Every structure is written in C-alpha cells, then in structure tokens.
Amino acid sequence: MQAFEATNYYFHQAAKCLDLTENIRTLMITPDREVRVEVAIELDSGRIGNFIGYRVQHDNARGPYKGGLRYHPAVDQDEARSLASLMTWKTAIVDLPFGGAKGGINCDPRKLSRGELERVTRKFIEKIHDMIGPHKDIPAPDMGTDAQVMAWIMNEYAKYEGFHPACVTGKPVEFHGSAGREAATGFGLAIITREMLARLQRTIAGTTFAIQGYGNVGSHTARCLAQMGGRIISVSDAYGAIVNPEGLDLAELDRHVAVSQKIVGFKGGDAITNEQLLTLPVDVLIPAALGGIFDRAMAQAVQAKLIVEAANGPTWPEGDEVFVARGIPVVPDVLANAGGVVVSYFEWVQNLQHFRWPLDQIQREEEARLVEAFRDMYDLAQRKGVTLRTAAFMKAISRVGRAKVLGGI
Ligand code: GLU
C-alpha cells in the first residue's frame, strides 16, 4: 500500500459513517491539480544538480490551498498527494478558511550547502510562482525546510508578483513571520496530549513519554511537555536513540545536539535503536518523524498506552486496526499536529493586516482552537462509537462537503 491509498482508506472509513455516495467520495479524494517540475541548479562543485519538485493542490472548497514544502529523498508524487489530502482534512478539522496542498523537492538537504539550498528553492519558486500566492496557495515549512527557506520563497515570489508576505508562512519572525510559529506544532501537540490525558483521568505531570524524531516538531513537543511536568525518557533522530528512565535533561541534550548535530553520543542517556524506542513501556509514544512507521508488526510490538501522532501519516491502516483491537487510543495527525497550520493562519492574517500580534495572544488563540476541535472530535467519537481518527475525518469531510455544496460543484 502507498501513502495516498492509506489516507484514502481513512477517508473511506469516515465516508461510510456519513453515507457519502461514490461520486461525492471521488470528487473529494481526487486532487484538483498536480504539478511536477524539474529543478536544475549549478552545484558548488560546478556540476549540474537535477532535482524534481512537486506541488499537489488537493482541495480549495474552503479557501486557498495551504500546506508545507518538504525537502527529503523520499519525496515523490504519491507522498505529496497523500500529504496534500491530509492538509485538506487538517485545515477543516480546526476550521481554518483554507484548503489543502503539499509539495516538496526530492533532495537530501543535509548534503546541500546553504547556497545550493537557496538556489534550489529559488528555482522551484521560479517554476511554480504563478500557481501560489496569498489567495491561491500558501506554502509553509515541513520536514527539511525552515524559516530561512520560507524567507527565500517570499523574496523570490516578490520578484514576479511584488511584495506579498502572505504568500508563504513560517517565515523568520524578523522577516514578516509570526511569534510562536516555530514552536506552534510542538506546543499544539502538548495541548492536545493534555486534553487526551484528561479524558483518561491523567495529567502530563507524572506521565512518561518517548518521542521518535527530534527535529522542529519533536524537540518543541519534548520541551513543552517537560515544562508541563512530563518525563521525557527517550528521544531519537535519524542516527539513533537514547533512553533515560529518570527523564532526559533536555537543556543538556540541546547543548549536545547544538555541537554534534546528533543525539547519539549524549552522556545523559543510554544508546538504543530507533526500533527499541518505539517499543518502550512508556505511557505515551509520539512519532514525530517520517510517515509509515506503524505496520501490523510494529503496532503489535508497541507497549505504550497512548499514541499521539506528531508526524503526518505514521500509521498504516493495518497498524491502526491492531491499535483498535489492542485498545490503544491514537490521537490522529490531522488534529494532533494541526497547531502548526493554525499559527500559519495567524501569520497569514497578520501579514494581510500588516499588523503584529503578541505571543501570548497567539498561544491563547491556538490553544482555544485546538481544545475546541479536540472536544468536537472526542465527543463525536464517543457518540458514534468510532475511533478518534474516524471522528476527525467525519468532522472534516462534513465541513469540506458543505463548502462544496454551498459553493456549487
Ligand atoms: N507542514 C505543516 C503541516 O503538515 C504545516 C503546514 C502549514 O503551516 O501550512 O501541518
């Protein structure tokens, strides 16, 4: 099974509960537009680097297409399609006036110099600038891209279309970005985890966590949960994992990572493999790296009591069935990691208003939106006797469907 098929499987689970006809289902899952472009640049060595870039615009019934740009060797058309579709449901579940899109470039950003990354980014925007824009399609960071990449995008876009900071979100705070955007996904993850634990009569304080992935999302999630009293006992990156049952000292870990760029070698924990992290007997397991982690065997091996999906698409349908059978609740990606796009929305609004909001206002409003969306999803799941993921998709599909009907097909 491929990623887009997996996303559609979840869509159909919810569509069944909503009695959607086959035609409407096809209309809702088929992406509106898919673009594939060659991104050729001169490398520092003088050779030509050939890369392929994608942008999939899935649905814009509720507003402009919205979604990140991923720079990773696994990026392809199918993955972009799957992630674009997830964005449509994600923006709908938190009720943002956006649709869904996703894109990326098949490259390994760790092997590109800063100059090469800039050239790749500018070339990609040169190729797609006419299909993005503040009221068309608004990119944002995802795996392998950051605020600097977004700054180049804004600057490159301006060369063709003029000054439009709202054409991209996740920009540096001092370059039309928003306070709180960088930490927004991790902060949101912690809020959603708090809400879920409360339904299980628990609190973050006194709870143990393992987090797979220590990039932007994983590291901010760890910090926010630790600030709320959680014990982070294990984290990992692409090179390996570490564990300390007493809880990791994150400040020390961050100092280590700043120097060595890796978690491996950190003295405050024992080295384990990524796979061992996934099967630790923790209270909460948070996948915050690539998608497609939990197949049937891995879902069977998990010992955590709760899963909160920080990554996009970490659970295959067969893994999801195992979690259901084993009674392990899964808080789905489309809500769990939606804090990022919520603050992207605030950034877009601030850019359109040419006005700045303070951090406390952003965090307050992010929290309010996520808490409300969580309550809606949780209550619907209880009422209908379905999983949280199916409830989230039901909520999102109803909203997108309603917009399609109101707008006219
Ligand atoms: N890439 C992030 C996500 O998957 C953020 C998207 C955005 O802010 O538009 O949700």
What is the Cα–Cα distance from 313 to 79, expressed in whole angstroms? 10
Ligand 1: centre distance to CA 185 (Å): 9
Q: Give the whole-angstrom CA distance, residue 409 versus residue 401.
A: 10
Counting atoms of ligand 1 from 1, which one is nearest the CA of 83?
4
Rg (CA), the chain: 20
Question: Residue 365 is which amino acid?
Answer: E
Q: Identify the CA nearest to 317 among candidates 60, 10, 2, 4.
A: 10
Q: In whole angstroms, how far apart are CA 109 and each of 114, 143, 169, 217?
A: 9, 10, 20, 17
Pairwise CA distance, residues 281 & 354, whole Å: 49
**Alpha helix segments (H runs only) across 69-215:** 77-93, 114-128, 147-161, 184-199
Nearest in space to 28 (alpha carbons), one of 115, 114, 111, 89: 89
Q: What pLDDT is attached to residue 43?
A: 98
- pLDDT number for residue 44: 98
Q: Is 309 in the pocket of ligand 1 (CB under 6 A)?
A: no
Question: 74: exposed, middle or buried (C-beta count within 10 Å: 0-12, 13-18, 19+)?
Answer: middle
**Contact, 381 vs 199, CB < 8 A?**
no
> Which residues have C-beta within 8 Å of that of residue 167, sequence separation ≥ 6?
132, 133, 134, 138, 153, 154, 157, 161
Ligand 1 center from residue 280 Cα (angstroms): 29
Domains of the chain, earliest start first: 31-166 (3.40.50.10860), 184-336 (3.40.50.720)
- 67 C-beta closer than 6 A to ligand 1: yes
Task: Give the per-residue pLDDT at 90.
Answer: 98
Distance CA 133, CA 172 (A): 18
Ligand 1 center to 337 CA (angstroms): 8
pLDDT profile of the chain (409 residues), mean per 10:
93 95 94 98 98 98 98 97 97 98 97 98 98 98 97 98 98 98 98 98 97 97 98 97 98 96 96 97 97 97 98 97 98 98 98 97 98 98 98 98 92
Q: Tell me which residues are annotated as active site.
A: 102
Residues 89 and 401 sit within 8 Å (Cβ to Cβ): no
Ligand 1 neighbourhood includes 363 CB (under 6 angstroms)? no
DSSP codes of every residue in 46-111 = SSEEEEEEEEEEEE-SSSSEE--EEEETT--HHHHHHHHHHHHHHHHHTT-S--EEEEEEES-GGG
Place of tokens 């928003």: 178
Euclidean distance between CA atoms 256 and 386, whole angstroms: 43
Two tokens at 231? 């014990």
CB of 169 closer than 6 angstroms to any ligand 1 atom: yes
pLDDT score of 220? 98
* Residue whose CB lies within 8 A of the most ligand 1 atoms, among 90, 96, 138, 142, for a mutation test: 142
Angle, alpha carbons 33-75-341 (nearest 5°) = 65
| Whole-number pLDDT of residue 96 | 98
Beta bridge partners of 133: 137
Q: What's the pLDDT at 1?
A: 84
CA-wise closest residue to 124 among 31, 32, 40: 40
How far does the centroid of ligand 1 lie from the alpha carbon of residue 341, in Å?
5
- Those residues whose C-beta lies under 8 Å from the C-beta of residue 163, and which sit 6 or more positions away, are none
Query: In ligand 1, which atom is closest to the CA atom of 142?
Result: 1
Under 8 Å CB-to-CB from 336, ≥6 apart: which residues? 188, 189, 192, 193, 308, 309, 310
